[in-house]
Amino acid sequence: MKKTKKAAPVVDGAQAEAAMTWGAQFLEYGKVIGFSIILALFIRCFVVQAFHIPTGSMIPTFLVGDRVLVNKFSYGIRNPFTNAIWIKIGEPQRGDVVVFKYPKDPKNDFVKRVIGLPGEKLEIIASQVYINDQPIPDERAFYRYTELPKSYRNFGPIVVPQDCYFMMGDNRDQSNDSREWGCVESALLRGKAWRIYWSVDPSQDRPFFSRLRTDRMGHKVE
């Protein structure tokens, strides 16, 4: 009598995983986690990074408690350790909202709007910005107070150095900017502000969900 060959047992995915040794499972999960970490670091270093807005210097463009995504690819690919440009892609334009290292303390990041470009003559007279002796539109400027140091409403004239940018906060009366500490070298730039991805009113006198500013989430920075 002819013997019939037994069919090999079918092992489904769950059984196969259970059959794996603990070491093999750990190795597989480690690969996935490691790849995810490397990808996240790559994106953070070269593509996009999140920043928190802690002050009101850019009101009304940014409110305290906004979280902003910054396009680090805007002006070039940079060394993540020294911030030196590896590949130049573009240059800041007047009106760009830029995150950069604070010239007085590069460990801190500031966000301001580009007002003066390299080589331009800049002057502020009674809050009006003049570039090369011509008044420029300044629709984003926001003024709150009138009793201020003269340097806030009147400044210059100066010539913006080459490879540098004159930065100002939109909240002109409450902004520590290039009027105080000078122009920003291009080597200090981090990238162009792109979108507000999260926003929470920092006051603690209301429940958390009532402090969410859902109308600001996803808002494009202009």
Model confidence pLDDT, tens digit, residues 120-177: 999 999 889 999 999 998 889 888 765 555 567 889 899 999 999 999 999 998 899 9
| The pLDDT value given to residue 147 | 57
Residues 36 and 144 occupy one common structural domain: no
Judge whether 57 counts as a catalytic residue.
yes
- The residue assigned the tokens 């030196």 is 84
Judge whether 175 counts as a catalytic residue.
no
| The pLDDT value given to residue 152 | 74
Q: Are 138 and 171 in contact (CB under 8 A)?
A: no
Model confidence pLDDT, tens digit, residues 23-37: 666 666 565 565 455
CATH of residue 214's domain is 2.10.109.10
| 74-77: Cβ within 8 A, 24+ apart | 74/191, 74/192, 75/186, 75/189, 75/191, 75/192, 77/46
11 assigned to some structural domain: no
Residue 39 pLDDT exceeds 50 = no
Catalytic-role residue among 57, 74, 175, 186: 57
Considering only CA atoms, give the Rg of the chain: 26
Residue 21 pLDDT exceeds 90 = no
Specify the amino acid at residue 214. Answer: T
Residues 92 and 150 occupy one common structural domain: yes
Model confidence pLDDT, tens digit, residues 92-117: 999 999 999 999 998 898 999 999 99
Mean pLDDT across 58-85: 80
Catalytic-role residue among 72, 112, 175, 186: 112
177 assigned to some structural domain: yes
Mean pLDDT across 70-81: 73
Please list, in sequence order, all residues whose beta carbon lies within 8 angstroms of the beta carbon of residue 70, skipping any fewer than 6 positions away: 48, 49, 50, 51, 99, 190, 191, 192, 193, 194
9 assigned to some structural domain: no
Mean confidence (pLDDT) of the chain: 79
Q: What is the pTM of this model?
A: 0.75
* Total domain count, the chain: 2
Residues 83 and 115 occupy one common structural domain: yes
Residues 32 and 141 occupy one common structural domain: no
Residue 179 pLDDT exceeds 70 = yes
Q: Residue 87: which domain range?
A: 50-220
Residue 185 pLDDT exceeds 50 = yes
